[in-house]
Copies of this chain bind each other. A is one copy, B any other.
Amino acid sequence: MTQDNPLIDERDASFLLYEVFAAEALCRLPYFAEHSRETFDMYLHATRELARDVVFPTYKPMDEAPAHFAQGQVHSHPVLRELWPQIVALGVINAHRPAAVGGQQVPLTVHNLAAAYMMAANLSAFGYAMLTTGAAHLIEAFGSDTLKATYMRPMYEGRWTGTMALTETHAGSNLADLQTRATPTAHGHYLLQGSKVFISGGDQTLSENIVHLALARIDGAPAGIKGISLFVVPKLRVEQAALVPNDVAAAGTFHKLGWRGIPSIALNFGEEGRCHGYLVGEPHRGIQYMFQMMNEARINIGLHGVATASVAYHASLEYARTRLQGRAPGHKPTEPQLPIIAHTDVRRMLLRQKAIVEGGLALVIAASRYQDLAHHAETESERARASLLLELLTPIAKTFPAEKGFESNALALQIHGGYGYTSEYLPEAWLRDQKLNSIHEGTTGIQSNDLLGRKIIKTEGASLAALAEEIERVIAEAEKAGVDPADCERMRHALSCTRETSVFLIKLAVRDLEAALRHSVDYMDLLSTLVVGWLWLLQAARAREVLQRGGDRPFLQGKLCTAQYWLRNEVPRITALAALCQSNEDSYARMQDAWF
């Protein structure tokens, strides 16, 4: 049964790409000029087939037999050795990177949709590829030509893998306190010494070499985040065209709730004083470099959340269609039982998942499109506007799928009833996987402070004004397309509440920033609900237009029904959230340690 899981609904993917976000229009931009709907579809098709037929069947075995540490080495699941060359052959590691570094210049709008299939198929297996891309991209953006030739190239070619080696035992959310040291030498390299934790893919038996992009503090550097530099620290370093052990030791693996197919490692650099690190870019700018990659990294986490919720949604839909239990009210016990999808409450749980999954996918693809436009739109003002919207959407695109996706995954398990609680079915595994997404790459609390503090208050509402224009345009389009005026009015009212709340908080921040930020998690909930409401209204408008042209009724009716669900069940919550954000509710602010 699970073999038939579509992972991501195929019709939804093409609806989003072409009918909602007009991906073909991107091909008019010079950077994407080689592309067309045909090349997009080929890429999507190839990725989807591999994800469904080859990658997905490896998920359960990899979840059941996590990588283990033995003889100083982490042994990853043997199936990865067969899988990896096929993932590499697809070109996903650098498909969206420039031709100059071997890439295909595929828009992120398309690439991320393709990647979602791989993530839905096996988050951990694809994790090796994502981490490799991220690490290589840092070298591409900030590294010397030598580093690019020596380390970036084999990574983009999939011969070596990469990791991000940031976290230390006492420096997680707060990287300012990391202690790994880098001592300059006369030979140009640095000698690294320190320990890192939670390094995903930090050791394995998959690739010939592993390249860690590590943060460390050069001797004498200032304290805090201004004294942190970025280094390439390979497991094996290149010396005279040979690979030499670089004094990077795996110290053990963490036993994790989920993501069991990719090990999380404790790593020691320089136990023997012979760990070479190569500075990327300039000294003390490590955190800045990381920040420049942060939108991409965070949107990827959002994509994890959507993909993990999507595969579980489809499993629960299939289960609801085939599992027989109960009858309609008033029917005799001698009549056959019904598939549980016939029960309203089961459809409620399915529709809520669909609203979160497809709303979340629209959100991540919208953010991806702004990434494409921020870098490649033709005019400076178009790029600036896209960038403004991208900055605003990024913490939302990271957080909404993580938080609501977790709820969605719990519903998928719930639909499976008692069986859902067992490992005979996969929803329990996806629920375990999902939980990480509210933690890594900045917790929900950090994202919420970023959204309200940096994106709303610091821009004095400029990004929200741009978003409001987009929302107003969609409301007008929806009205024109014949969407229920009451639903359009709901969005208009919610937008007005949001503006009022934001203005209030921007003013409050001038005299009391802490008070303004107190309800940032509620503000995140508010703005996420609005943004997803906007994207559902947009989908409803497009669905109506396509229906009028005689489009595929069941799919489009489903879209309209799901939009209705979101606009009438979720969007009205905004009123209470707006009031809460504007209240001076200070319970947890004034709550003291001794009172707990």
Contact = CB atoms under 8 A, between A and B. Distances in A.
Interface of A: 167, 170-174, 176-177, 197-198, 223-225, 254-258, 264, 317, 321, 324-327, 329, 332-334, 337, 341, 343-352, 354, 406, 410, 413-414, 417-418, 420-424, 428, 431-432, 435-436, 438-440, 443-445, 448-449, 513-514, 517-518, 520-522, 554-555, 557-558, 561-562, 564-565, 568-569, 572-573, 575-576, 579-580, 583, 585, 587-596
Given A337-B174, A596-B354, A591 B414 contact: no
Given A167-B418, A257-B421, A410-B435, A347 B565 contact: no
B587 A562 contact: yes
Contacts of A258: 421
Given A224-B333, A348-B521, A350-B588, 12 more contacts: A170-B324, A173-B417, A344-B589, A406-B410, A420-B439, A561-B590, A565-B585, A568-B585, A569-B580, A572-B576, A575-B575, A575-B576
A233 to B, nearest CB: 20
A512 B506 CA distance: 48
A53 B254 CA distance: 28
Contacts of A344: 514, 517-518, 588-589
A104 B436 CA distance: 47
29 contacts: A167-B418, A170-B324, A171-B325, A172-B325, A177-B337, A197-B418, A223-B334, A224-B332, A254-B421, A255-B422, A255-B424, A256-B422, A344-B517, A344-B518, A344-B588, A345-B521, A347-B588, A350-B596, A351-B591, A351-B596, A414-B443, A417-B439, A417-B443, A418-B439, A421-B439, A431-B435, A561-B590, A568-B585, A572-B579
A249 to B, nearest CB: 20
B325 A173 contact: yes
Contacts of A327: 174
A594 B558 CA distance: 8
Q: Which 9 A-B pairs have the closest CB atoms?
A: A224-B333, A558-B595, A345-B445, A565-B587, A174-B326, A223-B333, A554-B594, A348-B588, A351-B588
A170 B325 contact: yes
B572 A587 contact: no
Nearest to A224: B333
Nearest to A575: B576
A110 to B, nearest CB: 25
Nearest to A556: B595
A406 B410 CA distance: 10
A173 B332 CA distance: 16
B576 A573 contact: yes
A232 to B, nearest CB: 24
Nearest to A403: B410
B421 A436 contact: yes
Residue among A422, A432, A575 with max Cβ neighbours from chain B (10 Å): A422
A591 B347 contact: yes
A102 B282 CA distance: 79
Contacts of A197: 418
A573 B354 CA distance: 24
Nearest to A226: B333
Given A417-B172, A595-B555, A257 B423 contact: yes
Contacts of A448: 345
A22 to B, nearest CB: 24
A348 B591 CA distance: 9
Contacts of A594: 554, 558
Given A198-B418, A596-B354, A589 B435 contact: no
Contact of A428 (B170, B257, B424): B257
Contact of A351 (B257, B557, B587): B587
